[in-house]
Amino acid sequence: MLSRSVSGFAVFFVPFALVTESFAFGAPPVESPAPAAQQAAPQAAATPRAFAIDDLYSLRRVSDPQVSPDGKWIAYSVASVSLEKNASTSHVWLVSSDGSRSVQLTNHAKGETRPRWSPDGKTIAFISARDGTPQVWNIALDGGEARQVTRVSTGADNHVWCPQGEHLAFTSDVWPGLKGGDAEQKKRSEEIESSGVKAQVLDGLLYRHWSEWRRGKRSHVFVVAAEGGESHDVTPGEFDAPPFSLGGPDPVDISPDGKELAYTRGPDRAVEAWSTNSDIFVVPIGGGDAVNLTAENKGADASPVWSPDGKYIAYRSQARDGYESDKVRLAVVERATGKIVYLAADVDRSVDQLVWRPEGEAIYFIAEDAGRTSLYSVPIRGLAQPAPAAPILSGMHLTGISLPADSSFIVGEIQSLTRPVEVVRLNLAEALQGKAALLTLTHENDATYAQLQMPSVESVTYAGALGAQVQAWLLKPPGWQKDVRYPLVVFIHGGPQGAWNDGFSFRWNAALYATRGFVVLLPNPHGSTGFGQSYTEQISGDWGGACYEDLMKGVDWAVAQGLADPDHMAAMGGSFGGYMVNWILGHTDRFKALVSHAGVYNLESMYGVTEELWFPEWDLKGTPWKHDGPYEKYSPHRFAANFKTPTLVIHGELDFRVPVGEGMQLFTALQRRGIESKFLYFPDEGHWVLKPKNSKLWNETVIAWLEKFLKPAPPK
């Protein structure tokens, strides 16, 4: 798709006391205030101000909630941005499962992420680069210092506990085939660094990805004792395990008896640039012969999760090789027999995260659904009689779910287009009776939002192409007046198999633009996910067809509703959204301004420099030299003679998905045609603009460009 030796200064929470680490410079306990509902009402600001750029970087970024086995506590990460340091730092926090108390657990300057509870609930393992490279560290909740577990020069990630608490598995990118363990890995790295030669000899494709040169490395799974020691590679070989090019939930899990490890393995090296055929393998925890459980399926099989009794492994599965946006099915394989059954076939949505009930009689899963998500339950009655899925919760954007041992509730993340993630709790007994209600456990940004005016948000539908109803999000500025036509900004999402969901973005933040006096429309045209597989698949081979028509009909709808000033409209998008802006540039002059970020401009040149060849080969129906219909028909560069609209072009040098030449070609055509244009070039960014100062410059530049041509009333 066009669109991963000094202990920390930390404090700990135990059920009846707060204790600090036992070293001279330990920080004092840092405890959060009680939830907003339990506080005295704060004094309201005399005049709440409009949400502004600086507010975006002051918000605390909550993620990855993990409930303790006994259900009493939830560990989660909170990241804070420093514009002065041009960096973001994350720390681990704990909140009680009733939301009454929260406390900061770690506080090292290098930060910590991915908290994971030990099976006995007494220890949390996390990732930190406090010794220079990301490593797994353990911290006991009854006090003491954090202790380093892994010491691999290539770094560690994706760690999971063995159910007996004796081992941890993790992933690391290594040079396969080197003898001598980590010492040789470190030696190879130092030789490359000190050689003074940056040249590479390449003998295969997928040699780089997103913004990273692979240099022959492979992702492998390692096992280490929980108390630390030597790490052992249990997936040796010239392949990726997990495949580094495909995302999704955790790629590794360990059997309940602690004897086997299930993992996702990528395709063979010879075809990995144009194949998505990953498989689920199992291997003894100590290493040995691996067994492929899903060899017959030619699509992507990933994210294995063992059943509590060890009889089954549930996983996410796609049927078709090369199609990364194929429907993701819920699959279960019986470990003893290898029998595979696909569940929830009645749900025309792709499965995202899945978790077993601790008793093993059901699986819960999250699926993207019409701009939000839905939570489903699938009973397990033996593989002979697959049961239909039952919806538990819908109508909100819930992600990142986690269950305690008694499965009485689910913990997850909740967010919206105007509010970032907070941790919530869902009582399952009530939810299964249709009485679902979420209890918000964290309140990391309540104080900031008490001072802000935010836009209103509506989910709307309008008639689109091919007789379809198109869903869109509509944001109106604070103080919106019914009889006033506002300048309109249309956000176009990437993918193209993606969607604008009711979720908060720290990159493309629609609320930030609405508070500047724009009406903002975020359509989900043909190609969008979460509206049924046929709707998603329609765009393949038809990039400039129904999707473009859907977008233009959305603009027509906004004008007809009296929302938009037809003389002051703009469109902006990134990745495929940038492609569509480039397509718009050659096919209509109804917009006063355009913003194209990391947009595909020349489909033929793009094919030769992008890394994941399965994407253009599927979506554009082949290679340009064998079948060039869509490559020729839908390439924006062929319509440069029609360009008229002032355009801001944005691109990063390290973008290997849509390489920077695409933006340069577009800017050259605009300049040569004498069209007002600017090129915002980032030498240190990839497909996304991530560094805080660069991100702020991005927003400032885009807003200034839009305001120049659309002239909205200034925010009050």
Encoded tokens for 670? 């605009």
Strands (E), 592-654: 593-597, 647-652
Q: What's the N-to-C CA distance of the chain in angstroms?
A: 39
Task: Tokens for 704, please give them.
Answer: 């200034």
Catalytic positions, please? 575, 655, 687
Q: Which fold has domain 453-710?
A: Rossmann fold (3.40.50)
| pLDDT attached to residue 432 | 79
| pTM value surpassing 0.85 | yes
Report the pLDDT averaged over residues 76-92: 97
Amino acid (1-letter code) at residue 420:
P
443-490 pLDDT, tens digit each: 999 999 999 999 999 999 999 999 999 999 999 999 999 999 999 999
pLDDT (tens digit, 9 = 90+) per residue, 638-686?
Answer: 999 999 999 999 999 999 999 999 999 999 999 999 999 999 999 999 9
Does residue 26 have a pLDDT over 80? no
Whole-number pLDDT of residue 268: 86
User: Looking at residue 567, what DSSP letter applies?
Assistant: E
Among 346, 340, 313, CA closest to 327: 346
pLDDT for 21? 33
Average pLDDT, the chain: 92
pLDDT of residue 46: 55
Given this model, what pLDDT does residue 215 score? 92
pLDDT tens, residue by residue, 558-593: 999 999 999 999 999 999 999 999 999 999 999 999
What pLDDT is attached to residue 2?
67
Q: CA-to-CA distance for 653 and 374, rounded, in angstroms?
A: 38
> Cα–Cα distances in Å, from 182 out to 222, 224, 327, 655?
12, 13, 39, 31
Task: Report whether 253 contacts 259 (CB < 8 A).
Answer: no
> pLDDT tens for residues 393-446?
999 999 999 999 999 999 999 999 999 999 999 999 888 777 778 999 999 999
Model pLDDT for residues 113-146, shown as the tens digit of each residue: 999 999 999 999 999 999 999 999 999 998 788 9
More confident position, 524 or 407: 524
Domain boundaries, the chain: 453-710
